[in-house]
């Protein structure tokens, strides 16, 4: 069974941080320009929070030394200083977080809008070669990864780097000898912890993958429960699910052993190393106290005191924790660069030509259409020729029916009229003008399509009809619904035109969805109408109502009708019979029916027999 894709940040690719990768994503920095003042102010507060963090161990150590010397006034003074440090750190942290989030959210909102606007303006060839789920991931998961990175990770990476550099400097100032001991132990432990942590994350991800596979079995079984029961395969599915759950246990126990070993390692090594540093520092304290006892005239500032030992321990903890955390942050930055590059791939795609190549004063078209020796292959299937020299013309107001076996090129002709694709050779002209010279927005505003599989948006009936003419009044919507034979059933709903249709229109029947789509097309008032097998999947009564609505809609419009049910196109002005990408027959219903060995007659006889 297929495994469900996991749009998870764990799956995002890591990209090596280099001058080249930073140069590639530097274009995103342009989004920061309008907010650079706030961003630099945030960096300033970040620097201040780092300074106040580094001041804490030093002041705490001074307080302990002062307490040892029994100087109450100095103790109070240092306590007040510590309180002031905490207050300022809280203030600096608030402004740092607020400014970074403020800038990041504005930047990512602009990036989301630009990415979405670019995405919906890409040609159909792009969507035929890329999965919708992956594109959704680009806008959702990838941009969310950037949000986390810009808001938290980059700031923390800089802060932790500052703590490491500042901490080591303070350690060296406190005791060079003890610093060398600490740097020989703590970083090794931290690096080992990071490496082992990656192993645990990998095992955790594999466990989640197996859980996802197990959930897929449940979902597929319940969705296809009719098949399960009709084939009496309950036991088979139970065994399959049991094997899946056993696989989860096996991988989860591997992870548990790794986590147990990791916890033991942390307890023994990390705390052991800290004890080792404290032990060595305590010996230095004892040694210097012995010197002071032997010679009271020695300057205590040059001796290693208990307060300095406390300072050293705290700075060691800061440095160790920062080294351990910065590796994970670096990995997050790598993922963010990968996410940024995936977003930039969309931004670099060539959009459809919405503006006219040669602007003219045409405000509308009459609807005459001509194909002249059109050849076409889909970009995703360049080895298969779909249309081979197709030529025909449709006068204004004519109804042209397209029939033929599946795969003969009927829907491809409709896609070319809408300019979802452009022909490889030959030309398509509308009112004598090559369609390539017309702006897509202008051209498609003159057209409407009623497909076989109508997809409605998840809002109200009113919103779905209004999609044909945004901003239309309720009176216009009702008038369009009446022409589409939809008003009667809509009016019977308690909420009428404010009825929610559900995702993809699931709350409505097939015939009702078709009539909503027709009402949408009526409201648009197109010059060229495309009907793509609009009645092929309906019952007889729904087909009658839909066909009546279509007959009204086609009046006065150039119509291309793609049909499998040949009985619905008998009144067409002309019927084009396609076979293997070419027009094999052309004429009215009666003329084509008179051809004894004709393909049209053969298709009609097969349908009558069925």
Q: Give the sheet arrangement for strand 425-430, strand by strand.
A: 387-394, 369-376, 425-430, 433-434
CA–CA distances in Å: residue 321 to residues 45, 89, 200, 355: 21, 19, 19, 56
Strand 574-579 and strand 399-403: pairing? parallel
The whole-number pLDDT of residue 163 equals 77
Task: Place domain 369-446+526-609 in its CATH homologous superfamily.
Answer: P-loop containing nucleotide triphosphate hydrolases (3.40.50.300)
Q: How is residue 268 annotated by DSSP?
A: I
Does the domain at 14-175+334-352 match CATH 2.70.150.10? Answer given as: no
How many residues appear in the chain? 610
Question: What is 511-539 written as a DSSP string?
Answer: HHHHHHHHHHHHHH--SEEEEESTTTTS-
3-state helix/strand/coil string of 426-474: EEEEECCEEHHHCCHHHHHHCEEEECCCCCCCCCEHHHHHHCCCCCCCH
The whole-number pLDDT of residue 3 equals 39
Count of CB atoms situated within 10 Å of the CB of 369: 23
Dist CA 76 CA 378 (whole Å):
81
- Nearest CA to 531 out of 574, 561, 501 is that of 561
Dist CA 582 CA 388 (whole Å):
5
Sorted by where each begins, the domain ranges of the chain are 14-175+334-352, 176-303, 369-446+526-609, 457-515
Question: What is 43-74 written as a DSSP string?
Answer: HHHHHHHHHHHHHHHHHHHHHHHHHHTT-HHH
Q: Tell me the CATH class for 176-303.
A: mainly alpha
Dist CA 544 CA 557 (whole Å):
21
Mean pLDDT, 10 residues at a time, the chain of 610 residues: 42 57 72 83 84 76 63 70 82 86 85 83 77 70 73 74 78 73 68 73 76 79 79 83 85 80 72 72 72 63 69 74 68 75 79 64 79 88 86 88 84 88 88 84 84 79 86 87 83 85 74 83 85 66 73 81 74 85 85 79 72
Is the fold of 14-175+334-352 the same as that of 369-446+526-609? no
End-to-end Cα spacing for the chain? 35
Locate 261 and state its tokens: 């070993």
Q: How is residue 471 annotated by DSSP?
A: T
With 0.85 as the threshold, say if the pTM is over it: no
């Amino acid at each position: 069974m297929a495994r469900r894709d996991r749009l998870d940040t764990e799956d995002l690719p890591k990209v090596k941080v280099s001058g080249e990768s930073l140069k590639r994503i530097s274009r995103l920095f342009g989004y920061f320009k309008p907010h650079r003042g706030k961003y630099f102010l945030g960096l300033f507060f970040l620097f201040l929070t780092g300074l106040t963090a580094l001041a804490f161990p030093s002041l705490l150590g001074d307080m302990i030394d002062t307490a040892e010397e029994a100087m109450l006034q100095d103790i109070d003074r240092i306590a007040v200083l510590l309180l002031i440090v905490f207050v300022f750190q809280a203030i600096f942290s608030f402004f740092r977080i607020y400014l970074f989030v403020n800038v990041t959210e504005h930047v990512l909102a602009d990036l989301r809008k630009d990415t979405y606007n670019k995405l919906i303006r890409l040609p159909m060839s792009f969507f035929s070669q890329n999965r919708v789920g992956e594109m959704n991931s680009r806008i959702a998961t990838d941009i969310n990864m950037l949000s986390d990175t810009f808001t938290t990770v980059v700031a923390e990476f800089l802060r932790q780097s500052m703590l490491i550099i500042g901490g080591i400097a303070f350690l060296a100032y406190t005791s060079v000898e003890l610093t060398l001991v600490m740097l020989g132990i703590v970083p090794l432990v931290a690096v080992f912890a990071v490496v082992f942590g990656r192993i645990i994350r990998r095992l955790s991800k594999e466990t989640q993958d197996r859980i996802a596979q197990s959930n897929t079995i449940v979902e597929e079984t319940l969705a296809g429960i009719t098949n399960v029961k009709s084939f009496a395969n309950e036991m088979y599915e139970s065994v399959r699910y049991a094997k899946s759950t056993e696989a989860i246990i096996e991988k989860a126990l591997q992870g548990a052993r790794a986590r147990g070993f990791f916890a033991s390692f942390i307890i023994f090594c990390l705390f052991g190393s800290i004890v080792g540093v404290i032990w060595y520092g305590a010996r230095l304290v004892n040694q210097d106290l012995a010197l002071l006892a032997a010679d009271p005239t020695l300057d205590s500032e040059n001796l290693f005191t208990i307060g300095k030992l406390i300072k050293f321990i705290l700075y060691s903890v800061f440095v160790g924790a920062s080294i351990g955390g910065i590796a994970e942050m670096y990995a997050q930055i790598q993922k963010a660069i990968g996410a940024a590059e995936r977003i930039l791939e969309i931004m670099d795609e060539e959009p459809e030509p919405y503006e006219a190549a040669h602007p003219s004063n045409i405000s509308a078209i009459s609807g005459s259409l001509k194909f002249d020796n059109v050849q076409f292959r889909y970009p995703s299937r360049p080895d298969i020729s779909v249309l081979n020299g197709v030529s025909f013309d449709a006068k204004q107001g004519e109804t042209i029916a397209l029939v033929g076996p599946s795969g003969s090129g009927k829907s491809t002709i409709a896609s070319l009229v809408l300019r979802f694709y452009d022909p490889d050779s030959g030309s398509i002209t509308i009112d004598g003008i090559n369609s390539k010279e017309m702006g897509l927005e202008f051209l498609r505003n003159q057209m409407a399509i009623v497909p076989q599989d109508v997809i409605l948006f998840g809002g109200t009936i009113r919103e779905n009809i209004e999609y044909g003419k945004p901003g239309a009044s309720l009176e216009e919507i009702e008038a369009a619904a009446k022409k589409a034979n939809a008003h009667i059933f809509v009016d019977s709903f308690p909420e009428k035109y404010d009825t929610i249709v559900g995702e993809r229109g699931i709350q409505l029947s097939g015939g009702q969805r078709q009539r909503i789509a027709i009402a949408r097309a009526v409201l648009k008032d197109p010059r060229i109408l495309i009907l793509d097998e609009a009645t092929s999947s309906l019952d007889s009564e729904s087909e009658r109502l839909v066909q009546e609505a279509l007959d009204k809609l086609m009046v006065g419009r150039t119509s291309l009708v793609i049909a499998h049910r040949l009985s619905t196109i008998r009144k067409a002005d002309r019927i084009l019979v396609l076979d293997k990408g070419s027009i094999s027959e052309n004429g009215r219903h009666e003329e084509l029916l008179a051809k004894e060995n004709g393909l049209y007659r053969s298709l009609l006889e097969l349908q009558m027999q069925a």
